Structure 1
């Protein structure tokens, strides 16, 4: 019969398995240390610039519009309904040109009532003046009578004293004559005081009535102006820029109805990013591109505050504007801040403010990869920035927004 053979064990097998396990572990450890593969980017989609040394002109750029230096907003002096619109945007006007006709019966009634009250006050002033003049004449007559009585009393005393000296009159008659003289003097003094008081009272009442008349006259004048203001006039020569009312529309007192501007003198109003506006000062030279030509000017005003991240600045233009320039036309302006000689600079990166430290990707010598380096930025223009450290002339760097690759220090380029 056949006897089965026992298989012999290979003594090398445990060592082989151990070697395989160790190899797998080493491979896994190596892969874990390699980290993620460097991302590959299309070089054609990136903005790349070369670091250079030389002159850098610091400029600030801003978009804006042409605005008239002289313009007038026309507002409603009184509420009313629009009856006619006699001008439209673009219409040339003079100061006396009627733009809109309004109507408001209440305003006309108030004007008529003010005129009526003024007439009544003027009639009352005339009546009071007549009455007081009559009273004044009566008082002056009383004063004249007292003066005559005083003189007669003085003469009577003189006669009585003379007769008494001649023995033709008694002492009692002399005393009686003297008493009448004293009475006449007191009456005359009283009439004088009464005349002065009456005169002052007369003037006070007249002034009071005059003040009332002047008050009502001012009210009537104001009401007449309200009625006249319902024929809304331009108030200045120029061109109508805004007017969007229609007949039948109701407007409120103080509501802005139109804007009239002169096209003879225009200025540029630019919006500058607030972080770039900190170095602006009045008088800086500025160029303004109207797309039909470039004109020069000077910075004439800087808004004290920022709005929505921008600062508004005014540019007074020294050159004549091209034909076709008109208010509200879009323009681009560039303000020259200063010239820096012999500085290292590069195009302004998408991320990174002036006077800060940022990280940028610098291209390798063959241009097939880029590594992240730390760069200290200095003063900046709207399209370039000074390099204080981290880069040297001849280096090529990526200016595009690389924030999505902030977790890697190297990228491949193709």
Structure 2
């Protein structure tokens, strides 16, 4: 016969309550434990990373810029007069001297004006000769008149003296004496007038010849100027060097002041380097510069700093002190490195991809075993072309990732394979 079990339901209820209690306690504990676990770090191939080691010692601050070689002395040759290009004698690259003719222009109106002035000069010279002959003839006429007046005066004077002598002897009437004296005095006055007229005529002759001579000189000066303008239609180099640019073609019409060509001296070059405006504040005149022409490096010094920034860059001129390497020529692309200062004892590392002066950046520091990298905040001080000063956040001997890690901006820990 079956024996009834007493207390079974109560024990079953107790077990269920115990299980529920255990679950109620275990679930929060497990959740809390899982929340304390770190997420798995993403893996990165170590060979794809560029790393550097923090060091202490001397550091050279430099800034780099791109630029070109340009001539120190450039001569832009303009057209002096209006004209049409008849002939282009030389092309860029030719060696020229001051008298080398580059371009020949034509201007028929200018040439016609010069020819007209030449004939005006000849006509004026002929007029001067004609005037001189006329004035000399007039002078001779006046001299003849003066000679005749002088002769008549002498005769009248002799007659007057004779009449006075006869009158003293009582042989001539008094009237004859007075008439002879009056005639003599009249002729004396006429002789004086003719003498003065000859003197005035001589001065007048000189004045008239001088006026005509001035007119001739004026026409000659105008002719000389016009001839120089005609000669200016043959455009010359004006200096020794190399023809850099030729900006006209045959048949082209040019106006006064229009640029015809550019001549430079290739042996006297300077470098124009464009420095980013954020890095140009420490550049000063006289600082040493290394200019790389991609075929050699030339030493130089900063000679000029442009006062204005253009397109985010400040242009500096570098006076080259070393010998130019083979192939150096105007407009050649170059790289320039300006040495700002030498720091004696600083903590530094190679320059990361992202890192401006006096900024706080996040860098991944490698663990001693090199298997992981952890993000740390690093304060950067002064920067150079290849290195940056470490102010805080790293120690000497630390290795950090310098390559672009923007793909891992959301991660603070990386596993390196």
Give the gaps of 5 or more residues in structure 1.
Answer: 1-7, 131-201
Contact 2:97 2:239 in 1 (8 A): yes
Identify the residue that residue 302 of structure 1 maps to in structure 2. 305
* 1:271 shift after superposition: 1.9
2:264 is matched with: 261
Residue 322 of structure 1, CA deviation: 2.5
**Shift in CA distance, 302/21, structure 1 to aligned 2, threshold 3 Å:** same
| Distance in structure 1 (CA, Å) of the matches to 2:253 and 2:21 | 96
| Equivalent residue runs for 1:8-47 within 5 Å | 38-47=41-50
Of the two, which has the highest radius of gyration? Answer: 2
Distance 2:21 2:233 in 1: 105
Give the secondary-structure state (helix, strand or coil) at the position aligned to 1:386. Answer: strand
The one of 384, 404, 408 equivalent to 1:401 is 404
User: 1:183-222 residue pairs with structure 2 within 5 A?
Assistant: none
Q: CA deviation at 1:54?
A: 0.5
Taking structure 1 as the reference length, the TM-score comes to 0.66
1:242 aligns with 2:253: no
1:119–1:14 CA distance, 2 compared to 1 (3 A): farther
Give the whole-Å Cα distance in 2 for the aligned partners of 1:75 and 1:42. Answer: 64
Contact 2:381–2:390, Cα closer than 8 Å, also in 1: yes
Report which stretch shifted further, 72-81 or 391-400: 72-81
Preserved CA contact (<8 Å) 1:343 1:386: yes
Provide, for residues 164-200 of structure 1, a one-character-per-residue CA deviation record: whole Å limited to 9, x for no partner: xxxxxxxxxxxxxxxxxxxxxxxxxxxxxxxxxxxxx
* Number of the residue aligned with 1:371: 374
- Please tell me whether residue 384 in structure 1 is matched to residue 387 in structure 2: yes
Equivalent position of 1:321 in the other structure: 324
Offset at residue 22 of structure 1 (A): 9.4
Match of 2:338 in 1: 335
Residue 275 (structure 2) pairs with residue 272 (structure 1): yes
- Deviation string, structure 1 residues 152-171 (Cα, Å, up to 9, x no partner): xxxxxxxxxxxxxxxxxxxx
What is the rounded CA distance, in whole Å, between the counterparts of 1:35 and 1:118 in structure 2? 107
Deviation at 1:84, TM superposition (A): 1.4
2:231 aligns to what SS in structure 1? helix
Shift of 1:225: 4.6
- 1:258 Cα deviation from its structure 2 partner: 1.8
Residue 288 (structure 1) aligns with: 291
Among 60, 68, 71, the residue aligned to 2:74: 71
1:52-75 deviations in Å (ceiling 9; x for gaps): 001111122223222222221122
CA RMSD of aligned residues (A): 4.3
Give the direction of change, closer, same or farther, for the CA distance of 1:82–1:413 in structure 2 (3 Å limit).
Answer: farther
Give CA-to-partner distance per residue, 1:373-403, whole Å, 9 cap, x none.
2211112211111111111111111222333
Q: Secondary structure at the match of 1:325?
A: coil
In the superposition, relative to structure 1, how do residues 345 and 20 fare at CA in structure 2: closer, same or farther (>3 Å)? same
Normalising to structure 2: TM-score of the pair? 0.65
The answer to whether residue 311 in structure 2 is matched with residue 346 in structure 1 is no
Q: Residue 247 of structure 2 contacts residue 259 of structure 2 at CA under 8 Å; is this kept in 1?
A: no
